[in-house]
Structure 1
Amino acid sequence: MDAIKAPVINHILCVSMRFHFLCDIMRVMKPWCREDIPVEGNFGQTFDKLNFSIDALSREFSTNVVLQEEEQQSVFGVSALREDFTESLSKAFEETKVIMDQFLGLIQLLLSCTFITIFTSAFGYARQYTQDVRFDNIYITTYFRQIDARRKRADKRYLLPLKKAERGLFINPRSLSIHPSELKLVMASLLQVVSLAVFVCVLLAVDMVLHHIFDIIRRHTFTKFSLTSSHHIDINVGGQSMMAKLLRKTIGAFNTSSNLDMQSSNQHCLPQPRALTKEDYLWSFVPLLMMALMCCLQVYSNRLRRVIAAFYFPKREKRRALFLYNLQIQRRISYTKRQRTRLMQLGTGEKTVLSGVLSRLERLGCRLRWCCVCGERQRGDRAVECTVPGCQAAYCPQCWRDLGRICYACVPTSTWDPIESCSDTDMYYVH
């Protein structure tokens, strides 16, 4: 290490260090300081540490208030806590949901297999259609009308138009009216729809009641909370001593002020019921109306089954029509025989109150006539009246033709030959 020579400066700095009498002066001051200014031991170290602490507090001191809330858990059932109860409830709900999903999946699988019933029903109908000539053979088909028109042109016994007593035995496919035999199926289907409609109405009524109850709860249990508070802490420490400065630095950190204004309510805890709209009610009842309409249209779809079967089995359809026509011819002959016997047994009969009223109405220009055989009302001059004086019997043209244009109400019972009356029973078979 090189030394720098400074001949003047070194003498100036070292001269002051050569005054040894100054040390004796310090020895003279020590007794005076001990008597008049008592200072404890380690004062300097303590002072340095205190200054360091004051500087550290002034730089880094801050307060952090921690509030710990202890809430007593409510007990439900067998001392289950709220979390345990929520977890168990969620688990039970999930298990129930899984079971319901499996059940609904099974129902959907079964519903997806319902199309098989369509094929089985079609095959069953076709099998009975080809094997049983009486199965669903109650329709007045086109071939049935052709047979009747051909017999009418040949001046033979024909069936159309049907008599009043025969209309309940046949179905006219061209008519939109529902036959009594078809009405049973319609009523059975409508009964199921009505039961479903009653169930839907009950559900809607329960929904309205629950909405009304929840709305009352919402309106009468609504509570609004208003919390307002303020505080101001100001601690002043006077003095300029070391302790005052220390307290001013420490306690002064608690000098705070705050204002609290909180508005709250139990709105989120209350039920929020929502009433069903008109669209909801509409979508609830429109499917029911569609189901009721489909029940009525089912009649015409059932008629369509015979049309499809006749298209695929035309020869079988002709045999069925011939069988039905011959069967009805025999019924008509038997019916005519019974009515002829009844007319001969009753005869002209005595005049009743009804006949007197009808005669008076006839004088006024209002003629009312009913066929003595089939009971149908004859309008205008369509009725065929007996020309025998005193006989008031009237017939429709068809019954008059079936009776051989003879008024059996006037024929004496003694002149009636039962063998002759049955001579036409084996004549009317169509081949």
Structure 2
Amino acid sequence: MEPVTGLKRLRGWAKRAWGRQPRQKRWLEEDSKVREVARSTAGFALGMALASLYGALVLLAQSGNLWYCLVTTISLGTALGLGMAFSIKVRVSVLLTLPHIFTREGKMLLLLLALGMAVQGPCTNILHNFSRAAESLSCGAELALNQTAERLQRAREPLLKVLAKIKDIAQKAKVVGDRVRKFFRSIMDSVSHVARALCNVWRWLASVGELCNQELGTPFRRCLRLFEEAKDNCERALSFLFFLCYIIITFRPLCGLANVGLLFCIIPQYIQSFLKKTIAAPLSRALDRVRREFEFNISAVHHFDISLNSSKTLADVALDIMEGVSRRLEPTRQVVGLFAYASSCAILYLYLKALRYRHRYLRDDTFDNVYITQRFMDMDVQRAEQGKPTVLPLNFWESDRYIHPGMPWLSQQERRRYVLELTGVLRHVLLGLSLVLADYSLFWLLDLVRHQMQGEIVARAPAMLAVSVDGTGYTSEIFQDLVSAFDVLQQGNVSVLSQRCLLQPVEPDYGAYISMGILYGICLFVAIFGNHVGRLRRVVCAAYYPAREQERTSFLYNTILARRAGLVHALREAVRMNSGDAAQGNLLLFLTSRVPAFARLVQLLGIQRKHCLACGMAEQKDFIACITPDCKGLYCRECHQTLNNVCSICMGPLSYKDMGDEEMDSSDEETVGLWLGALRTLRGHEQEELREQGRLLRQRIQEVAGGQGGARRLPPELLAQLRARLKEEASEESDGDSYGVPGEDSSFSR
């Protein structure tokens, strides 16, 4: 069976396209505009759908702020809608971003999002349940404190009753004492009156004695004074015989006869002392003794001290503890709040990764270039037809490294990543499952406690003890009041469990559980099938950059050939052919394919290995380069003849029939510049064959500008630039120019 190659399709389609009649120009141009509008509309709809999906994710899954969600969703919708509707680069970047969700970076962002939901859902609910439990314990402790104070008050009641009774007795005794005091005061007043009368008698008797002594005591003293004077006169008269004067002294006792009257003065003094000893002193002692019998002092001293060693109430202590816990958890809550903005950062990160992938795809030949595509197989068939060495079928080692993008099996590098990513996802799933189990277990335990404590438990005395006190009098009344106080103490009830302090746990958010399960399921899907979905990135880039894909395919083909040849074969071939350039090229390809660091060094130095873009053959002396300025087309002689002198890079977009409905991207501006450069080069060429190619190229450009021939449609801005530059080219031509075709400008200036 003869293989159908891409080169044959190129050649056959070009012939059919160039033979179409101009009568379809207007219809094709209108069809191109309709498809461009449809493509822009589809891009706008896709951008708005992605923005709506982001808004639903932030608002429902992450429970983000409403205003933040509204502002970011509107901004993202505007950027995506307008960008995908009018910009090819934005469209490519967004389409590259979608497969990036299923790569390792997307998986990590999804795991981060799931962790954020776990922190915002189960972890936050755990904190709420701990807060509820602390509030319930604080309420119970405050209730216990209040009931303790009530018990203390009831315990003081017996003492207070006794003290009240003692105070009552004291008040009554005070009344009796006041009455007795008044009675004795009356008696004492009467006694005082008698005492005053006796005092007057005593004073009279005392005055009588004094008068008696004064009156009756004078003769005795006068007698004594006479004897003394007689003695003194005798001594003065008989100074020499003074001893004779002492005879007078012997007669002085005779004066005692004058003291017989003093006996009557002693009787009042005797009566006074007798009355004082026998009447006044016993009467005073008797009155004092009776007064002391009614003197009493009642003092009641009681000590009832309780010390809790607390400067604050238990409620204040519990409130302070909760405030301290809140302050400690405030940084954690702020970090948890930052997870609400993780989705925006994730989208920006994925978009930057998509831009980096596009940049590396366009710059690095070794980047993500391990796929055996249809282009690769067409190139191998072309080489087989020309009798050149081929690559297919691959050997066992190459089959393990290079794979078909549509096959389910993985390459060696993908299998290595597969195990690591699956292990990482399972570890995160276990972490999330642990948080969910902890949240639900805590809720289940607290809910069980709440269910068991729904009733109200009140402790009462099992039996009432009654004590009766019989008797009359103050003592019996005191004991009766004391016993009645203990009866009041037995009647008190203690609330062991109250509904006011019933625990009310917060039920888990089952919607968050479902969202976490969905995210973890997506992460598992990414870990299992992410490598397959990630291959779509290359498909997107290949669809928008076909020329670049052709270069990468040629590079991969030559890399496999270099690997098969090996380093020893390359050195032997260099010695045998005595060609330093060939050895350098083979060695360069071998080291580039084997050592990634060397590939980066070669890329940094700008060293490239030239090869045919059609069959991948290494550069030879008879290679033919494209005459278009800045065109990278380089072909061997066989491929040049097969292509019929049509460059696959410059004219490639004009030749593939199956690319007719494909829109052109940012690289098409460079392609248009290459077309016009080829026109200027071929316009004044000496060879008739090349001038004929120039006329065909000009005709083909006019068809593209007119939107006919099934060619790829240019964006409106690029189409306007192409028409303007064609007008400039036409104005520079003279009337006798070989390119001149009358009426051409009118065909594409509309």
User: What TM-score, normalized by structure 1, do the two folds share?
Assistant: 0.45
- Which structure's relative contact order is higher, taking Cα pairs within 8 Å and 6+ residues apart? 2
Structure with more helix by fraction: 2
Greater C-alpha radius of gyration: 2
Structure with more strand by fraction: 1
